[in-house]
Structure 1
Amino acid sequence: MIKIKSCIVSIVFLIPFFLFSQDKYPVDKLFNIEIKLKARKFEEDINFNKAQTFFREKNWDSTLVYSMKELSATKNIELIDYCYYFRAISFKHKKLLKEAKKEFNKVSDNFQHYYKVKINLGEIALEQNEFKSALQYFQEIEKLPVNKLYNVYKGSILHNIGLCYLHLNEFDKAETYLFKSVNLQEREKDTLTLIGSYMDLANLYYTQYKDSQAIPYFEKAYHLSKKVKSFDLKRAAAKNMAAVEENRKNFPLALTYRKEFEQWKDSLNDQNKVWEIAEVEKKFAVTQKQKEVDILAAENKVKIAERNGFIISSLLLLILFGTGVYFYRQKIKNSKIILAQKNELDELNATKDKLFSIVSHDLRSSVNALKTSNGKLMENLESKNFTELDVLLHNNSTIANGAYNLLDNLLNWALLQTKQAYFYQESLHLATIVQHVEYNYKPLMLNENITFNNDVSKEDYVFADLDSLKIIIRNMLDNAIKFSKENGTISIYTRPSSEDFCYLVIEDTGLGMNEPTRQELLKETVLLSKKKNDDIIGTGLGMQLCKSLIRKNGGKLEIESEENVGTKIIIVLPKFKNHG
């Protein structure tokens, strides 16, 4: 039987040689323990501590940031070597091999783990096809004794040396080292790396046109791949077997392997999968048809014509069907958009109606209360009852303030909804803004015998719009006063902030709320909610306005509350990081 060698080589070598990195093996616990000890020894070096923590957590971007900060700050040679090593490993994992190589070359020869540097430089050289350079690195590591000082996985080193020789066409040496690595992996029952080793041995023999020696290793890799969960290995093993069977002209079995290979391919390659399967099916069909051509040539021409006509008809029907489905889906999509817009419009209209209902009710209540109070005021003015006059005047002031706040919130809410409000985010000193708002509310709190504490950090700067931030703080303070009891306490302070956000807390010892009410207030909705206590003037518009403004500033709102204990309103706003 004549073999079509060019076919099998072109297919087999679509599967690359497997580079075995030390990273494929369990984490070097001794090395991690050692860098922890170094961190304790140099605990004052905060940047080094953060760099080694992120390195152990495999957070490569943060490792690069803090190792560079440490390099710019320290003159300690030992820490400098560790930082260069951390950076090199990070770049290597991010596939930035040139940068990784530069950082490895900056590590001094006195580094305790310099052998790890050579291993990694060898792996980089192998990935960059610098086979002679890689071979030199791996041969140096091969000579190292296996003990606690050198945590080296011999199987990977031997395998990589074999790959170097294979790429350099020194097949005898490649075979020797690949067999050594396979023997080690078989003893260690390292299934994943063993599959790759079998494939590389098969490639070695196929390169030399030794099919009888290569095929058993392809078969071993295929059967062993059934036991692992790696889709890449399963796919590579199945594809190799398909190529082997195609070369043997066993097309039905090749088709089986090809279909198995396609099962593991990513959905993004579905189109390629169809064409590759069709190619194998086509080869099989052509082989069968050729026999019929030799016997009945004329009859075969008719069948070909019929088949072509059927294919063209099928394609036309498929195109028509696809076009119909497309337009049907577009119609459904447009209908859904229209329905969603209708629902949104209905919801906005319902919100508008509810807003007008609530605002008109509360304004009418406020005006009616003022009317009644003014009548009593006139009566007491005639009788000169100054004690009652003082009470009535304070009551009128409270009602007027409530009505003014309602109208102010209504105006701001309308501007926000119609997108006419001026909005500009900038760096704002949080403590100063709070002091400005506090100044307007202190007389009201003194009148209500409410104790006020301001512990806002003077170091916090937020990135927000000035007017909207004042509106938020005013409304939250107004609510705190409104729901606080006489002789209560209102505190405003900042919690320890994160790297990106600042937490402003407004805490009162007032009525509080139950869990369902708290959840209702935090819902993402445009509908307004009426306050539970009818004795207290309020529409819920202020809270809705605050939530909208907080979201627009890139923050969020949190609430902690317990009935008859008090409430904590937590305003989370983005920090201004570039403040000098």
Structure 2
Amino acid sequence: MPKLVAVLIGVFVPFLLFSQKKNVVKKEIDTEIKMIAKKFKTESNFNKAQSFFIKKNWDSTLVYSMKQLDVGKKSELKDYCHYLRGRSFKEKKLFLEAKKELNKISDKFEFYYRVKISLGEIALEQNDYKLALQYFVILEKLPEELYDFKKSNALHNIGLCYLHLEKFDKAEEYLFKSAELQKAQKDTLMLISSYMDIANLYYTQYKDNEAIPYFEKAYTLSKKVKSFELKQNATLNMAVVEENRKKFPLALTYRKEYEIWKDSLNDQNKVWAIADLEKKFAIKQKQKEVNVLEAENKLKEAERNGFLVASVLLLILFGTGVYFYRQKIRNSKIILKQKNELDELNATKDKLFSIVSHDLRSSVNALKTSNGKLLENLENKNFEELDTLLHNNSTIANGAYNLLDNLLNWALLQTKQAYFYQESLHLASIVQHVEYNYKPLMLNKNIIFKNDVAASEYVFADLDSLKIVIRNFLDNAIKFSKENGSISIYTRPSSEDFCYLVIEDTGLGMSKSTREELLKETILLSKKKNDDIIGTGLGMQLCKSMIHKNGGRLDIESEENIGTKIIIALQKFKNHG
């Protein structure tokens, strides 16, 4: 029996701690932190710290909260900064640092009871059950309807402390209270943990007949949840129970099931590593596709020239004098037209390769220089500079990736190999999907973003090309916007045939001559005047081609140092009910 108890304690206690942590932060405190950030808009370090905290990016939270404490003068934000740092250290398992930060928070802090919760959980992690009990008993007396926490969790933790302190009567009282509340609240995950705790309580006292039904209840409930860890723990418990009851065939069945859940949990942990490899492979694959397209274009050009030569030879051999003369004139006109088109395409291609190679070289050189600084600051342990350099590297890599993506789409469009299918599309949903991918970039520059696209608008367009157009213009708006600027996407009153989508920013803007040049149909690719901003003009050319292919129009309204409005006219889907 003692061997069984030891195994069961090792199985369920870690999961309990995991479950408790998962339920500590509720929307109420998140909402309050966001409201404080809006109140102090000028405190950029605190705004970044709270944003990274909500996203559970603990390292960046620690960096910007420390910056706020170093340079910030708002005393109202100090308690919030220490709370963000204490929580971040706790999640990173740095308990000593977490306790130091949490103990710096004044008792006037609006969410001071959450400080007690965190300190209690740290004590529980460090097996200091008497200290943990002191914190959790305070929570028992607080009315749940007035405070942002689950009373069932507090009761559960109290019962767990008594269990480890071997005060079994008290442990039984609190664990059953917790289980009743969890059953009423339909908190299945925590209820499973409570059943396993109760079972272990009885096993510790050698009350097998009372313990086993609770292990069975935990196992039955675990089949209804998606947590592989819960399924694994509940199944292993049943295997150990059946082995102690000498029911070895049934125990073997549970053991096999345990291995299945264990493998599933391991597979889940490999997903992110596989996703990262797939991303790297996709970039290499796209580069290969560009190379293949270039080779195919050269082959087609050679085949076309050979066909023209063969045609001229046949006409010389079998044509009559008059027919030969007329055909000669006609062929000369065709050749001249094709030569002009070919010269124009070659000029565009040469210019494109020159600009793209220059920009890619600039990006790689910038990454090389930045990585050198990164290594230097890593040796000096200058963590603030490291954070800045890592964000710069991310910006450079995103720019280079967007350049390659536009190059591939442009090549597919020029060779007429791009898949194109127009259908009814809900414009607001498309914009919202693109917006989601660019929120981190806007947040990094403190750009205020508004999406006021009318929910009633449906357009008749190709999905992939429309996303490319919106993505390129939104990327340009972010790129040319200054810190603390704003970007808005909205729809103007539409006509009978067209819906007007506007992307407006408060960035650098452009002159009238630049705007007119960009709108010309015959414009070639050109380098932007601002050399600090990577760009080939390829994105604009690609967007214009795709807008026209969808039967739409493009217009630009802009003033230097005021901002730019990109106006895209798209065909409406008239048959939408």
TM-score normalised per structure 2: 0.50
Q: Deviations over 1:342-390 (max 9, x none)?
A: 99999876565557789999xxxxxxxxxxxxxxxxxxxxxxxxxxxxx
Match of 2:190 among 193, 196, 210: 193
Assess if the C-alpha contact under 8 Å between 2:235 and 2:258 holds in 1.
yes
Q: Deviations over 1:261-309 (max 9, x none)?
A: 2232225869xxxxxxxxxxxxxxxxxxxxxxxxxxxxxxxxxxxxxxx
For residues 151 and 138 of structure 1, what CA distance do their matches in structure 2 show? 15
Change (3 A) 1:565 1:185: closer
Say whether 1:425 aligns with 2:421: no
Matches within 5 A, 1:252-263: 252-263=249-260
Aligned to 1:63: 61
Assess if the C-alpha contact under 8 Å between 1:90 and 1:100 holds in 2.
yes
Q: Deviations over 1:151-173 (max 9, x none)?
A: 33221112112212222233333
Q: Secondary structure at the match of 2:226?
A: coil
Tell me the CA shift for residue 560 of structure 1: 1.6
Aligned to 2:479: 497
Assess if the C-alpha contact under 8 Å between 2:49 and 2:64 holds in 1.
yes
Change (3 A) 1:554 1:495: closer
Aligned to 1:430: none
Aligned to 1:233: 230
Change (3 A) 1:357 1:64: farther
For residues 120 and 536 of structure 2, what CA distance do their matches in structure 1 show? 49
Specify the code of the residue in structure 2 equivalent to 1:510.
Answer: K
Tell me the CA shift for residue 203 of structure 1: 1.3
TM-score normalised per structure 1: 0.50
Q: Deviations over 1:215-274 (max 9, x none)?
A: 11111211222232222222211211111111111112212222222232225869xxxx
Aligned to 1:509: 519
Assess if the C-alpha contact under 8 Å between 1:78 and 1:111 holds in 2.
no
Aligned to 2:543: 560
Change (3 A) 1:347 1:181: closer
Change (3 A) 1:499 1:139: farther
Aligned to 2:458: none
Aligned to 2:103: 105
Q: Which stretches of structure 1, 4 residues or more, deviate above 6 A after TM superposition? A: 342-349, 355-361, 410-413, 421-424, 498-506, 553-556, 564-568
Aligned to 2:78: 80
Specify the code of the residue in structure 2 equivalent to 1:425.
Answer: N
Tell me the CA shift for residue 212 of structure 1: 1.7
Q: Deviations over 1:481-528 (max 9, x none)?
A: xxxxxxxxxxxxx74418999999975332269xxxxxxxxxxxxxxx
For residues 63 and 57 of structure 1, what CA distance do their matches in structure 2 show? 9
Say whether 1:141 aligns with 2:139: yes
| Percent identity of equivalent pairs | 53
For residues 268 and 157 of structure 1, what CA distance do their matches in structure 2 show? 28
Change (3 A) 1:209 1:356: same
Specify the code of the residue in structure 1 equivalent to 2:521.
Answer: L
For residues 410 and 554 of structure 1, what CA distance do their matches in structure 2 show? 13
Q: Secondary structure at the match of 1:16?
A: helix
Q: Which structure has the larger Rg over C-alpha atoms?
A: 1
Aligned to 2:387: none
Matches within 5 A, 1:14-29: 14-17=10-13, 18-19=16-17, 23-25=21-23, 28-29=26-27
For residues 303 and 134 of structure 2, what CA distance do their matches in structure 1 show? 84
Match of 2:205 among 193, 199, 208: 208
For residues 82 and 230 of structure 1, what CA distance do their matches in structure 2 show? 32
Q: Deviations over 1:522-555 (max 9, x none)?
A: xxxxxxxxxxxxxxxxxxxx97x99xxx9xx999
Aligned to 2:128: 130
Specify the code of the residue in structure 1 equivalent to 2:182.
Answer: Q
Assess if the C-alpha contact under 8 Å between 1:496 and 1:503 holds in 2.
no
Assess if the C-alpha contact under 8 Å between 1:54 and 1:60 holds in 2.
yes
Assess if the C-alpha contact under 8 Å between 2:363 and 2:396 holds in 1.
no
Assess if the C-alpha contact under 8 Å between 1:426 and 1:463 holds in 2.
yes
Q: Deviations over 1:40-97 (max 9, x none)?
A: 4333323333433443454444433432332222233321101111222233334443
Specify the code of the residue in structure 2 equivalent to 1:560.
Answer: C
Between stretches 44-53 and 192-201, larger displacement belongs to: 44-53
Match of 1:182 among 169, 179, 183: 179
Change (3 A) 1:221 1:498: farther
Q: Secondary structure at the match of 1:19?
A: helix
For residues 251 and 25 of structure 2, what CA distance do their matches in structure 1 show? 40
For residues 99 and 556 of structure 1, what CA distance do their matches in structure 2 show? 50
Assess if the C-alpha contact under 8 Å between 1:81 and 1:107 holds in 2.
yes
Tell me the CA shift for residue 410 of structure 1: 9.7
Specify the code of the residue in structure 1 equivalent to 2:71.
Answer: A
Match of 2:90 among 87, 92, 105: 92
Aligned to 1:8: 4
Change (3 A) 1:167 1:565: closer
